[in-house]
Amino acid sequence: MGRVWWVLLATMLAAPVSPALAERAGGTLHYVVPYGGDLLGLDSHKSTRIQDFLVHTSFNHSLYSWEPGVNKPKLELATKVDVSTDGKVWTFKLRDDVKFHHGRKMTTDDVIFSYNRIASPATKSPSARYVRIIKGAKDVEDGKAHSIAGLKKIDDHTVQITLENAADLAYSLFEAGTAILPKDEVEKRGDGFSSDPVGCGPFQFVKWVKGSEVTVKKFPGYFVPNRPFLDKIVFKIISESQARDNAFRAKEVDATVIEPVQYPVYKKDPAISKNMIEVAEMFTRAIGFNFDKDPFKKKEVRQAINYAIDRNLMIEKLLHGKAVPAVSWLPSTSTGFNPSAKPYSYDPAKAAELMKKAGYDNGFTADALSTGNASWGTVVFEAAMPMLKKINITLKIQQMEGATLVDRLQKGEFDMFSYSMGTGPDPYQALARWKSDMPRIANYMNYRNPAFDKVMEQAAAERNEVKKTALFQQADGILLEDAALMFFNYNKAVMVHQPWVHGLKPAAVDMVLQDYANIWVEGSSPRANEK
């Protein structure tokens, strides 16, 4: 089945490892959790944020994992997969040496249980959209069935998955939210699983000091020989960028994703810049609207907001060039990106004209929700306020923790919000979150457009890759013309690490989702012998 997936990588400036420098076992890594404060929880099926997933992937595995060097998913928990000629039936031979951290081996029952749990309305999983391509998953999600019809147990280590339409299943089942969890432990622990998880990843959970750190330790029963290298990882929860900068310069942390304010400073520092990794990530930063509220039901109002905001100026002054202006929803790194798409220009006169046409020439006041994130948080609304004021829109900014923001979005308790949302690597999944049948836990805005839905249905059924890409571009164009969001920027992710850290990769799907099993530290690390 082959779809050619490509990723446009920016310059990688990481210092090369000397051939004489051998991989080393042992030590502790202090890795910063950079986005929006504390975690929502440790249950991958119930989480929605990359903030959580970067921790979860240390102790969980999905059926597939993301391979940064190749920039596509690879089989992780199976040795092989057979795909029927029509592309709908996928038969996986599961590994027979995968152990969960409580000692039991993974079986087909755990795979089937996990996907059924994700689809179940009781779980309220934002990742239900990834398993929805499996035949019968939507019936479970809608409460019409208790189990997914397209899942079949062949034997203890063979599972057959039948899809609604031909698709590349790998791009759905590598997501952290589709982790394979142990059926017995999830059922036994109930709600407690979110604070004391059990997985099958290279590290096992130790403790979570809320608001401070999450600690995981090496799992001796991991199925990959001689992995992981590290004895322990401490994920430091440091929400303020200046605090992260101070901790990194003091060598208290080993690696962190940096924000715009540090970017030009670090680039000019000869000692730090040689240990920087840059990549064009598949994330779109945008301002979203509540489509259930009158001002934003009007397309002209949404278009006016897009014309009223000078995104190029904001990227230059606010983000210090650490971003790319957004053309539409899909980023330039997506195979569904349309290079001929024309973005909204900065045109205050056009914006005022559209507000008058919509009947809002006198404007309105709107609540604007965000976090303190320096790339897509409160600062975006603060910079946009004087621009929007010119068309008589007044913002009442409310800053909150990331967990609170997500909760408000999923409940529909907002007017506008500023957020960073994943838009790759599968253009179908990136676009599908805005389909009318998506619940609010994924479709925050409650966006509804029959024309968009129709094109997405056509794309799901289309087997010809060229035609499928054209349909993705058409669907993306509908979002753009409809001004479904204020399309702000595509993220440029930059990670900085100490010179003794090795194994970090420029992961375009998200820089923070690293292959923890293959990260190692030199003996020069201050935590080289820490267990």
Q: Does residue 471 sit in the same domain as residue 503?
A: no
With a cut of 50, say whether residue 39 has pLDDT above it: yes
With a cut of 90, say whether residue 389 has pLDDT above it: yes
- Kind of pairing between the strands at 393-399 and 364-370: parallel
Q: Does residue 199 sit in the same domain as residue 319?
A: no
Tokens in use for 118? 């994700």
CA-based nearest residue to 388, from 419, 346, 343: 346
Least confident interval from 12-26, 77-91, 253-267 = 12-26
| Structure-model confidence comparison of residues 439 and 89, the more confident one | 89
Q: Does residue 453 sit in the same domain as residue 306?
A: yes
Q: Does residue 445 sit in the same domain as residue 504?
A: no
The neighbour count for residue 200, using CB atoms within 10 Å, is 27
Q: Is the peptide bond before 228 cis (omega within 30 degrees of 0)?
A: yes
With a cut of 60, say whether residue 304 has pLDDT above it: yes
Q: Does residue 318 sit in the same domain as residue 234?
A: no
What is the Cα–Cα distance from 246 to 253, expressed in whole angstroms? Answer: 9
Q: Does residue 247 sit in the same domain as residue 371?
A: no
CA-based nearest residue to 371, from 241, 252, 245: 241
Give the pLDDT confidence score for residue 232 in this predicted structure. 98
The residues that bridge with 520 in the sheet, in sequence order, are: 502
- Is 380 within the bounds of a domain? yes
What is the Cα–Cα distance from 93 to 428, expressed in whole angstroms? Answer: 26
With a cut of 90, say whether residue 500 has pLDDT above it: yes
Q: Does residue 476 sit in the same domain as residue 504?
A: no
- Is 48 within the bounds of a domain? yes
Contact in structure between 30 and 527 (CB atoms under 8 Å)? yes
Q: pLDDT digit string (tens) for 182-207? A: 999 999 999 999 999 999 999 999 99
For residue 222, is it left (φ>0), alpha (ψ between -120 and 50) or beta?
Answer: beta
Give the pLDDT confidence score for residue 294 in this predicted structure. 93
Contact in structure between 531 and 28 (CB atoms under 8 Å)? yes
Three-state SS sequence of 262-314: CHHHHHHCHHHHCCEEEEEEEEEEEEEECCCCHHHHCHHHHHHHHHHCCHHHH
- Is 55 within the bounds of a domain? yes
pLDDT bin (cut points 50, 70, 90) of residue 2 is very low
Least confident interval from 264-268, 385-389, 489-493 = 489-493
| Structure-model confidence comparison of residues 243 and 374, the more confident one | 243
pLDDT bin (cut points 50, 70, 90) of residue 481 is very high
Tokens in use for 53? 């997933």
Q: Does residue 220 sit in the same domain as residue 306?
A: no
Average pLDDT over residues 423-430: 86
With a cut of 60, say whether residue 6 has pLDDT above it: no
Average pLDDT over residues 292-309: 97
- Is 267 within the bounds of a domain? no
As a whole-number percent, the residues of the chain with pLDDT over 70 amount to 95
CA 144 to mean position of chain CA atoms: 29
With a cut of 50, say whether residue 488 has pLDDT above it: yes
As a whole-number percent, the residues of the chain with pLDDT over 90 amount to 74
With a cut of 90, say whether residue 40 has pLDDT above it: no
CATH number, residue 86: 3.40.190.10
pLDDT bin (cut points 50, 70, 90) of residue 402 is confident
Least confident interval from 147-161, 403-417, 463-477, 505-519 = 505-519
Half-sphere exposure of 127 (CA within 13 A, CB side): 26
Phi, psi values for residue 522, rounded to 5°: -70, 165
Average pLDDT over residues 336-340: 92
Domain count, the chain: 2
Give the pLDDT confidence score for residue 394 in this predicted structure. 98
pLDDT bin (cut points 50, 70, 90) of residue 11 is very low
* C-alpha to C-alpha distances, 190 to 56, 216, 322, nearest whole angstrom: 18, 21, 42
pLDDT bin (cut points 50, 70, 90) of residue 425 is confident
- Please, what is the Cα angle at 288 between 302 and 37, to 5 degrees? 155
CATH number, residue 349: 3.10.105.10
- Is 21 within the bounds of a domain? no
Tokens in use for 241? 């960028």
Give the pLDDT confidence score for residue 14 in this predicted structure. 40
pLDDT bin (cut points 50, 70, 90) of residue 334 is confident
User: In sequence order, which residues have a C-beta less than 8 Å from that of residue 163 and are 6 or more positions away?
Assistant: 87, 88, 89, 90, 133, 134, 135, 150, 169
Give the pLDDT confidence score for residue 36 in this predicted structure. 62
- Is 19 within the bounds of a domain? no
Average pLDDT over residues 55-68: 94
Q: Does residue 180 sit in the same domain as residue 148?
A: yes
Q: pLDDT digit string (tens) for 111-159? A: 999 999 999 999 999 999 899 999 999 999 999 999 999 999 999 999 9
Give the pLDDT confidence score for residue 18 in this predicted structure. 44
Please give the residue range of the domain that contains residue 179. 28-254+498-521
What is the Cα–Cα distance from 29 to 229, expressed in whole angstroms? Answer: 11
Q: Does residue 470 sit in the same domain as residue 505?
A: no
Q: Does residue 460 sit in the same domain as residue 504?
A: no
With a cut of 60, say whether residue 7 has pLDDT above it: no
- Is 226 within the bounds of a domain? yes
Give the pLDDT confidence score for residue 374 in this predicted structure. 79
User: In sequence order, which residues have a C-beta less than 8 Å from that of residue 243 and are 6 or more positions away?
Assistant: none
CA 502 to mean position of chain CA atoms: 24
What is the Cα–Cα distance from 471 to 189, expressed in whole angstroms? Answer: 44
Contact in structure between 257 and 494 (CB atoms under 8 Å)? yes
With a cut of 80, say whether residue 361 has pLDDT above it: yes
Average pLDDT over residues 312-337: 89
What is the Cα–Cα distance from 238 to 223, expressed in whole angstroms? Answer: 32
Greatest mean pLDDT among 2-11, 423-432, 495-504 lies in 495-504
Average pLDDT over residues 240-245: 88
Coil, strand or helix at 162: strand
Q: Does residue 315 sit in the same domain as residue 400?
A: yes
User: In sequence order, which residues have a C-beta less than 8 Å from that of residue 331 and are 6 or more positions away?
Assistant: 280, 281, 282, 283, 284, 324, 337, 423, 424, 490
Give the pLDDT confidence score for residue 69 in this predicted structure. 65
Average pLDDT over residues 338-348: 94
